[in-house]
Chain A
């Protein structure tokens, strides 16, 4: 195969349809950036849920040796096994509860540390202010309905061994609500722009095929293979995809650095934030199911190109 011709045609094609290619690149850039932000927000919600629980959950803190709550339930000091059995029984029997999970001192401590509830200064040094032993055990209780937790709260709040009930539904509900709106907003915006990009790719190929119709007709007649005829089109699509993906990856990196690390993470410290590992995942995708922009970009240009060139250059 003479690739010299293919690359000459590629150069000519890119130059001839420069404005169309630029339009495709800009649309791809914006749509992929939005898709990437959507993926990052999805991941952010996942991280936040795994650390803080979600709006369906309440945390039942059990008494510690020197419980800071001064709750009358903690008169006997550290919660006993009998008290825990009683509490578990109460949770299990409550109709508002879907499921529950025991949280050890260590797990609770780790979660609090990750979510910024305990500052690093409090656990470092030879005499840390907060230790694992001081941290309360607890139960994550998952509700059937986030709006119905009064029964379980009132049933538990007076039980011996229960230090307090941390109901994060309101605060977390708002945060997750905002995340959901932003995530779906960016995905919807991205979907519209992806649709626009697809139309632009279609138009670009149609124009390119029209501009090359004489060459294509002769190539078909003299026996050039379909792949050879389609190759300049596919390479043009690939070039626009690479540029679009490159720009979107840059924009996402800027979002991660200035938006998350230097922005949100500094101002909202009680939430764990997506890191550079998540950024790279947004590029390559969270498998299974969510393709990253490195996959999405070429798919968006190559698939319509393949379909259309089959139509236009069919031998």
Chain B
């Protein structure tokens, strides 16, 4: 589902590359943690998957397509197959919960009928069935992250990318979010989660890919967080 072939990403200016000859392969339906210290290259890897960046050398394949040479006009179609969740939720404050989720469908041209059907289903999936009319600032952090997950999943993407999704949440709420991501993974969606949360990684054991200075230093099928900084 996601394949990096000797991928190097170098930003302008002097210094070491953000990613250095990274090769990795993530299959359909896998749940993978991407761990490493700040500056290890996690975010760069996620942005390469989203085709927000192009590799300096090497090849990135996502959903069966080599995306580094993909024409710009094809990128939106690629992104419709990828859902993204962030640490800071990134909800639209002037829209209700339902409108926030519906927004992801409206802007790719889904019909009103389909939106009216899928949005309540997705809100039910994330446990916010009765909160569709609330505004984001009326929700707790955990609930806001659930809305963000609903928005990322409403188009039923093949891949869900989560960048520190529990970074702003307390441990108990984080467990709820991890359970939800586990449920989504259970539907066959590949989940790639960048995290610093070693408690979560150790508790919900999954494949762990560890980056250090832009290189893959560990890839364990069922790993723990592994290092304590």
B106 touches A2 (CB 8 A): yes
Residues of chain B contacted by A222 (CB below 8 angstroms): 79-80, 83, 103-104, 107-108, 151, 155
Residues of chain B contacted by A169 (CB below 8 angstroms): none
Q: Output the residue of A1, A2, A217, A220 with the most chain B CB within 10 A.
A: A2
A223 touches B109 (CB 8 A): no
List the one stretch of B27-35, B69-77, B212-220 in contact with chain A. Answer: B69-77
By secondary structure, the A interface counts as helix
Interface residues of A in 260-315 (CB under 8 A from B): 314-315
Query: Smallest CB-CB separation from A229: which chain B residue?
Result: B107
User: Could you tell me how many residues of chain A have their Cβ less than 8 Å away from some Cβ of chain B?
Assistant: 20
Number of inter-chain CB pairs below 8 Å: 62
Give the complex CA separation of A228 and B73 in angstroms.
12
Q: Per-residue CB proximity of A214-243 to B under 8 Å, as 1/0?
A: 110111111111101100000000000000
Query: Smallest CB-CB separation from B95: which chain A residue?
Result: A215
Residues of chain B contacted by A314 (CB below 8 angstroms): 72
B50 touches A221 (CB 8 A): yes
Give the complex CA separation of A223 and B75 in angstroms.
7
Residues of chain A contacted by B77 (CB below 8 angstroms): 223
A221 touches B78 (CB 8 A): no
19 residue pairs A–B, Cβ–Cβ below 8 Å: A1-B109, A4-B106, A5-B106, A214-B92, A215-B92, A215-B103, A218-B104, A218-B107, A218-B151, A220-B76, A221-B79, A222-B151, A223-B77, A223-B78, A225-B73, A226-B76, A228-B108, A228-B109, A314-B72
Residues of chain B contacted by A315 (CB below 8 angstroms): 72, 75-76, 79
Nearest CB of chain A from residue B79's CB, rounded to whole Å: 4
Is B98 close to A, CB under 8 A? no
Of B76, B78, B82, B112, the contact of A224 (CB 8 Å cutoff): B76
